Amino acid sequence: MISRIIKDENVRRLARMLDEAQRVVTVCHMGPDGDAVGSSLALAHVLDRLGKDVRCIIPDATSSLLMRLPEAKEMVDACRHPDFARTLLRDADLIFCLDFNDPARVDRLKDALLAAKAPKVMIDHHENPSDFASVTISHPEMAATCYLLFRVLCRLELLPELDATAATQLLAGILTDTGGLSYNSSDPELYVVVAELLRHGADKPMLYKLLFNTVSENSMRLNAYAVDRKMEVHHDMGAALIALSRAELNRYHYSKGDTESLVNKPLAIPGVVYSCFLREEEHYIKVSMRSQGDFPVNEICAAHFGGGGHLNAAGGQFQGTLEEACDAFRALMNENKKKYIDKK
């Protein structure tokens, strides 16, 4: 029904590790999105049904909306409970690394993750995995970690444990990473998996409402302000930039997730090929980029902002002031135009 993409050897090793493990921990990347949270929760749910002691660790808080996913409140936020998170990693028999492929992506948990004695299993869909896990299941061609995780569960013959809760959690990740099946979603087999999740009881209407049609009044006003007052559209460069300072964020009582889809908005303007959003955090500037077609924002984020991601969705960080970050982005526009846009 769907092709077998995961190496037999990895399936066998993973099955053996699961047999031998009782205390299982999942970890995902910092700033957990729907795919990171969805894959963590779904795997934990299925393994819990198998009788394992499972805990999900998130390196820092996720959005209040994602906290409404089933069982999300059971996750351990390592920012709020650093010692507990480290103890869980230290005492685990098996650690799943979900939706990231480099230890740097778990931020302050990096040392505890690398020091943990338990074997690590990476299940991820980002490019260029680093070699830190005992089992690496890395498939950048998969639209979401949740999509890949479904395939892993299928190969482990664990689909009988996939109830409506786990199916909903997996679908949350697929919908998040494809913008509700709008981009990066032309793989026909993705729909076979979505159909299977629906058959298992995934609550699609709830997810669409939660992920795409729920917004706080503050967030709605902040996004409207950002687009109206702060968006620079460089038509001749095929680029757009939005930057928000702490003061502006505070004015709208910003909370995590409030600007989640802002970076996508300029892409709707004809001629805008890529978009950059800069958000002033306490100690750095958070960089988010999105693009369409084959414009590689992951290359730009890796080369200039110490980050990475996917071809059309990437991020990174900038050390300096917000204005310096804006200048750094503007300075790249000419080069980007020559390298990626004009050559067509």
Instruction: From 209, 195, 106, select the one nearest 147 (Cα to Cα).
Output: 195
Q: Are 27 and 109 in contact (CB under 8 A)?
A: yes
288 binds, among ligand 5GP, Mn ion, none (CB under 5 to 8 A by kind): ligand 5GP
* DSSP H helical ranges for 50-202: 82-91, 110-115, 145-155, 164-177, 188-199
CB 315 within 8 A of CB 297: no
User: From ligand 5GP, Mn ion, none, which one binds at residue 203 (CB under 5 to 8 Å depending on kind)?
Assistant: none
What string marks each residue from 52 to 71 as x (binds ligand 5GP by CB under 6 A) or -?
--------------------
Q: Collapse the DSSP code of 256 into the 3-class scheme (helix H, G, I; strand E, B; otherwise coil) and give the result.
A: coil
| Smallest gap from residue 36 Cβ to Mn ion (A) | 6
Residues in contact with Mn ion by CB under 5 A are 35, 99, 145, 177
Shortest distance (Å) from residue 231 CB to Mn ion: 26
Pick between residue 177 and residue 196 the one whose CB is nearest to Mn ion. 177
Give CA–CA dist 260/252, Å, rounded. 15
The rounded distance, in Å, linking the Cα atoms of 160 and 103 is 32
Which stretch in 83-91, 158-166, 251-259, 315-323 sits in contact with ligand 5GP by CB under 6 A? 315-323
200 interface partner picked from Mn ion, ligand 5GP, none, CB below 5 to 8 A per type:
none
Neighbours of 225 (CB within 10 A): 14
Among 24, 308, 322, 329, binds ligand 5GP (CB under 6 A): 308
Residue type present at position 194: V
Closest among 282, 285, 278 to 321, alpha carbons compared: 285
- Residue 59 or 238 having the CB closest to Mn ion: 59
Under DSSP, the state recorded for 228 is I
d(CA 112, CA 177): 28
* # binding residues, ligand 5GP (CB under 6 A): 13
Q: Give 52 or 108: the residue with its C-beta nearer to ligand 5GP.
A: 108
Q: Which is nearer to ligand 5GP, 97 or 154 (CB)?
A: 97
Task: Give the shortest CB-305-to-ligand 5GP separation in angstroms.
Answer: 7
Smaller CB separation from ligand 5GP, 94 or 300: 300
Spatial contact of 171 and 212, defined as CB atoms under 8 Å apart: no
310 near ligand 5GP, judged by CB under 6 A? yes
Q: Which is nearer to ligand 5GP, 158 or 285 (CB)?
A: 285
133 binds, among ligand 5GP, Mn ion, none (CB under 5 to 8 A by kind): none
Q: State both tokens at 191.
A: 């729909």
Using DSSP's 3-state secondary structure scheme, residue 241 falls into: strand
**Residues from 277 through 306 that contact ligand 5GP (CB under 6 A):** 288
Binding residue for ligand 5GP (CB under 6 A) from 135, 307, 326, 336?
Answer: 307
Residues in Cβ contact with 2 at an 8 Å cutoff, skipping those fewer than 6 apart: 151, 154, 189, 192, 193
- 34 near ligand 5GP (CB under 6 A): no
Footprint on this chain of ligand 5GP (rule: CB under 6 A): 29, 31, 105, 288, 307-310, 313-317
